[in-house]
Amino acid sequence: MSKAMETDVQYLPGVGPKRAALLRSELEVATVGDLLHLYPFRYIDRSTVQKIADVHPDQAYVQIMGTVLKVRLFAKNGAEITAEQVKYNLANRLSVIIGDDSGEMEVVFFKGVKWMHGRLIPGKTFLFFGKPQTFNGRINMVHPEFDAPESAQAGVLTGIYPSTEKLKTGGITGKVMVRLMSAALELVLPTLEDPLPDYVLKEKGLVPLSFALRQIHFPADQNALAKATYRLKFEELFLLQLSLLKQKYVRSRSAVGLPMPRVGEAFHRCYQALPYDLTGAQKRVIKEIREDLRSGHQMNRLLQGDVGSGKTMVAVLTSLIAVANGYQACLMAPTEVLAFQHFNNISRYLAPTGVKAALLTGSTGTAARREIHAGLEDGSIGLIVGTHALIEDTVTFKALGLAIVDEQHRFGVDQRARLWAKGAGGVHPHVLVMTATPIPRTLAMTLYGDLDVSVIDEMPPGRKPVQTLCVGENKRIAMYNFIRDEIEKGRQAFIVYPLIFESEKVDYKNLELGYEEVIKQFPQPRYQVAMVHGKQSAEEKAFHMDAFVAGRANILVSTTVIEVGVDVPNASVMVIESAERFGLSQLHQLRGRVGRGAEKSFCILMKGYKVSKESQKRLDLMCATENGFEIAEEDMKMRGPGDLEGTQQSGLPISLNIASLAKDGLILSDARLYAEHVLEQDPALEKPGNASLAAELRKDKYVRKDYSQIS
């Protein structure tokens, strides 16, 4: 890359310190390179000139060649200012009537009135470019750009850049932006170095960077624009994947893994005692994990599986392999509720094996804690389940060989690193990261590009689909009657209220009002209603939760705290209030709380009176499919990758300027395959032909904490 790219943007002609500060605060543009990587989000064809008679208000932008026929100035009170009494400080509107051979039209200016009045002289002809609209039944244009007629160029596409009110007020208009881009290109292009080697351009049929940058900002035609766009998207995704895979290659060659060649007796006993067969997907995943454990290298695997697909069973069997080889395993869960539930399930699975398990959370008493610490130190505890209490300094293992992290995006990087540091003999344990949040393939490739990914994409036999219905307020009484019928059959129901951070007070009020309404509809002593929310103490939460889990309460009214992990097989109804306020992933997670028993289950999406088109689309999709991966793909298309279940855009290894994980899946797959191909030939990028790639990957934006140690 050229040094010119690093130049402070204030030194570009027409910028200066004031505008530079604006570009920095509004668009995060600090250098000339940042500016050139700010790409147009759409283009306008400035080559066509329309007749006034053909203009209609629903057009995005139009260009008209018009002669100025009449110019009028108006004061703030709406009175016209005559030629004799022109005082520009009194004027706040300039009305200009323009015409061509097909008709007349008004153009209006509210800013820069003096300057416009001096230029727009009757009899002169200009090119006017702007957005048509209607006012008092007539079409006009407000603040159009205007130029001399000779500025109309054949086939010119003009880029439209991201902007804000502050930028416009500070004088950085669309026109100024185009001028700045032109100046930036003149400065940079003469010394620009391409980060992609010649062989990459040749093998992938890509245009050089200098061509791509010029054409993305000033396209000669659609064809040149398409070539430039493809080149820049491929480069962004290829370098991203190359940085992730290079870490993975380096690790797989250097990171020593604790050898685990044996499967062991406990594994076979547990497997044979299972009341059902494992699914094909579970068997495939266990096989993949087995290969990792005996490879001699550290396992770093992400296990994705929809709610209820049987990830816990895979975790148990993997733990038993570790125990058979003389090591211990730990499973870290994000909440006490989830840790407790995992422990109960795991204890059942371990019953025939003789392997001892324990549970360690913040609520564990002092005496029990002392006993658990001793059992971990002497090795008598083979598998420990817990919350972040597991990473406390007082917790030491005799030989930790496997660390399983459930819903890992809820743990901080440093928290996870502290767990890895507890590995046997100073060697990092094998790592299995589990998530029930279906992550679209493209996002998984990027967020976890340096991990191996396994997917459980089958549901265990006997798990009945959950019937999802979307209903409005007019069906509320029918919904309550339906819950009564289910309770009569001995079932239980969840009623969940949204909790949106910005309006927390309002949300808690809604929750309390909702709770009062539910109690009115389901009075004691016939019915028992429990309530759980984030403002309760741990004891209160546990008391209500236990009442519901044990079946003493028929209904649990709650906020989304129950989204992850609560397992109540007897619950057959999930009502989600104001469902339009939830994201797809969250709705899917909540629905996964029912359908865990043998009975048919229902998810009722209650929607408000006013629902946007976008929200209705989400609700329709929920009713149409139970496939979490389909839902996640759609969610990303609708919302972008920015906030998919805790994976903020900032969670991406680098920020993407032009490529989109939602739309460019094919380019991403191709870029990843090609990155693998490049690293197979030259794993450390040491060959002279790859010097530019190695230099690019040394840049700060590709340097992050080593995820091999922490994911």
Pairwise CA distance, residues 622 & 635, whole Å: 11
Sign of the alpha-carbon dihedral angle for 302, 304, 308, 310 = negative
Q: What token pair was written down for 513?
A: 């009002």
| Beta-strand relationship, 80-81 and 62-75 | antiparallel
Closest CA to 302 of 400, 385, 406, 401: 406
Residue 691: inside a domain, yes or no? no
Closest CA to 479 of 386, 575, 392: 575
Contact 395, 423 (CB under 8 A): no
Q: What is the pLDDT of residues 395-434, one digit of tens each?
A: 999 999 999 988 765 555 566 677 778 888 888 899 898 8
Contact 134, 166 (CB under 8 A): no
**Amino acid present at 267:** F
Closest CA to 607 of 492, 512, 483, 469: 469
Residue 710: inside a domain, yes or no? no
**SS3 string of 436-467?**
CCCCCHHHHHHHCCCCEEEEECCCCCCCCCEE
Residue where a domain terminates, one of 388, 418, 435: 435
> Are residue 484 and residue 387 in the same domain, yes or no?
no
Contact 428, 418 (CB under 8 A): no
Q: How many domains does the chain have?
A: 4
Residue 643: inside a domain, yes or no? no
pLDDT at 610: 84
Q: What is the pLDDT of residues 138-169, one digit of tens each?
A: 889 998 888 777 655 545 788 888 888 888 88
> Are residue 38 and residue 55 in the same domain, yes or no?
no
Pairwise CA distance, residues 296 & 261, whole Å: 9
Residue where a domain terminates, one of 583, 600, 625: 625
Distances (CA, A) of 213 to 6, 20, 233, 408: 16, 21, 12, 39
> Are residue 483 and residue 373 in the same domain, yes or no?
no
Q: Which pLDDT band holds residue 76 (cuts at 50, 70, 90)?
A: confident
Q: Is the pLDDT of residue 122 over 70?
A: yes
For residue 177, the enclosing domain spans 1-47+153-192
Residue 638: inside a domain, yes or no? no
pLDDT at 217: 94
Residue 418: inside a domain, yes or no? yes
CB atoms within 10 A of CB 428: 25
Rounded to the nearest 10 degrees, what angle do helices 209-217 and 222-254 cross at?
130
Average pLDDT over every residue of 614-629: 86
> Are residue 131 and residue 159 in the same domain, yes or no?
no
Buried (b) or exposed (e) across 395-410, using 16+ Cβ within 10 A? bebebbbbbbbbbbbb
The enclosing domain of 471 has a CATH number of: 3.40.50.300
> Are residue 57 and residue 92 in the same domain, yes or no?
yes
Residue 650: inside a domain, yes or no? no
> Are residue 315 and residue 407 in the same domain, yes or no?
yes
Which neighbouring-strand residues pair with 603? 468, 574
Contact 117, 150 (CB under 8 A): no
Q: What is the pLDDT of residues 167-181, one digit of tens each?
A: 888 888 888 898 999
DSSP 369-401: HHHHHHHHHHT---EEEESGGGGSTT---S-EE
Average pLDDT over every residue of 592-606: 85
The enclosing domain of 125 has a CATH number of: 2.40.50.140
Q: What is the pLDDT of residues 651-693, one digit of tens each?
A: 455 678 888 776 787 898 899 899 999 999 998 899 999 999 9
Residues in the chain: 711
pLDDT at 608: 84
DSSP 577-594: TTGGGS-HHHHHHHHTTS
> Are residue 180 and residue 287 in the same domain, yes or no?
no
**SS3 string of 93-148?**
EEEEEEEECCEEEEEEECCCHHHHHHHCCCCCEEEEEECEEEECCEEEEECCEEEC
Residue 521, judged by CB atoms within 10 A of its CB (0-12, 13-18, 19+), counts as middle
Contact 207, 227 (CB under 8 A): yes
> Are residue 474 and residue 381 in the same domain, yes or no?
no
Pairwise CA distance, residues 320 & 608, whole Å: 49
Distances (CA, A) of 514 to 243, 522, 560, 615: 50, 12, 14, 22
Pairwise CA distance, residues 212 & 227, whole Å: 7
Residues 6+ apart with CB under 8 A from 656: 236, 237, 240
Residue 120: inside a domain, yes or no? yes
pLDDT at 368: 93
Which residue has 């019915």 as its token pair?
A: 527
Contact 327, 478 (CB under 8 A): no
Q: Is the pLDDT of residue 353 over 90?
A: yes
Cα angle value 266/267/272 (rounded, 5°) = 100
Average pLDDT over every residue of 558-570: 70
> Are residue 55 and residue 167 in the same domain, yes or no?
no
Pairwise CA distance, residues 302 & 455, whole Å: 8
> Are residue 614 and residue 599 in the same domain, yes or no?
yes
Distances (CA, A) of 264 to 267, 270, 385: 6, 11, 21
**SS3 string of 609-635?**
CCCCHHHHHHHHHHHHCCCHHHHHHHH
Pairwise CA distance, residues 92 & 142, whole Å: 13
**Amino acid present at 316:** V
Q: What is the pLDDT of residues 250-280, one digit of tens each?
A: 766 666 788 999 999 999 999 999 888 888 9
**Residues above pLDDT 90, as percent of the chain:** 42
Q: Cα 421 to the chain's mean position, in Å?
A: 29
Pairwise CA distance, residues 382 & 271, whole Å: 17
Residue where a domain terminates, one of 152, 181, 216: 152
> Are residue 91 and residue 148 in the same domain, yes or no?
yes
Closest CA to 184 of 40, 14, 1: 14
State the average pLDDT for the chain.
84
**In 3-state terms, what secondary structure has residue 319?**
helix
Q: Is the pLDDT of residue 629 over 80?
A: no
Q: What is the pLDDT of residues 80-93, one digit of tens each?
A: 887 666 777 778 88
Distances (CA, A) of 613 to 60, 111, 591, 632, 635: 22, 36, 22, 19, 14
Residue 66: inside a domain, yes or no? yes
pLDDT at 706: 41
Q: Is the pLDDT of residue 647 over 60?
A: no
Average pLDDT over every residue of 450-465: 76
> Are residue 157 and residue 271 in the same domain, yes or no?
no
Q: Which pLDDT band holds residue 441 (cuts at 50, 70, 90)?
A: low
Rounded to the nearest 10 degrees, what angle do helices 311-324 and 265-273 cross at?
150
Closest CA to 466 of 575, 602, 346, 586: 602
Q: Is the pLDDT of residue 473 over 80?
A: yes
Pairwise CA distance, residues 646 & 562, whole Å: 16
